[in-house]
Amino acid sequence: MPVELKRDSTGFTYQQRKYGKDELSRAVVLCATHGHKQVPVNIDVIELDALCQYRDRLKAG
């Protein structure tokens, strides 16, 4: 599955237009900030800050 590295998840619209639904069946966006309003169901977004907060909670627990 494609993994896109973006500063902000809103920058993923280019890939959504570039690839057809069959070509982009699933993708992951790894970003510093997540500002995309309506993420398609076939796109998973991992925001770095949220990932670090989750890691910190695991360490503290």
Q: How many domains does the chain have?
A: 1
Burial level of 55, CB count in 10 A (0-12/13-18/19+)?
exposed
Residue 55 lies in domain:
3-60
Q: How far apart are CA 8 and CA 32, in angstroms?
A: 6
Q: CB–CB of 48/21 below 8 Å? A: no
Structure pTM?
0.64
Most confident listed range (1-10, 18-27, 31-40, 47-56): 47-56
CA distance 61 to 57: 6
**Average pLDDT of 17-27?**
68
Query: In this structure, are residues 35 and 9 in contact, taking their beta carbons and an 8 Å threshold?
Result: yes
